[in-house]
């Protein structure tokens, strides 16, 4: 299923502007451009969500380890 930015943002639970900013910064989920239109595949959004899973807040920092 293909989604426009507004739909993809709702699916991810973020603001549309956040998704647009992520595109500009090179962050966020993979997207497609069809001419000037931006589209997101649901599979790519699901993969992005799965890649954001963390066990603790320290996992995001490259040099820190989670406390066991």
Residue 68: pLDDT over 80 = no
Backbone angles phi, psi at 40, to 5 degrees: -120, 140
Q: Residue written as tokens 């997101």?
A: 40
Return the sign of the alpha-carbon dihedral for residues 50, 52, 56, 59.
positive
pLDDT value at residue 58: 73
The pLDDT tens digits of the residues spanning 44-59 come to: 999 999 999 888 877 6
How far apart CA 8 and CA 45 sit, in angstroms, is 8
The pLDDT tens digits of the residues spanning 7-66 come to: 999 999 999 999 999 999 999 999 999 999 999 999 999 999 999 988 887 766 555 555
Q: Is CATH 2.30.30 what the domain over 2-60 is classified as, yes or no?
A: no
């Amino acid at each position: 299923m293909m989604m426009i930015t507004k739909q993809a943002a709702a699916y991810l639970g973020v603001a549309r502007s956040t998704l647009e900013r992520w595109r500009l910064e090179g962050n966020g989920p993979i997207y497609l451009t069809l001419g000037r239109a931006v589209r997101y595949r649901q599979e790519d959004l699901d993969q992005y969500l799965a890649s954001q899973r963390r066990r603790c807040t320290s996992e995001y920092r490259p040099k820190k380890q989670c406390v066991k």
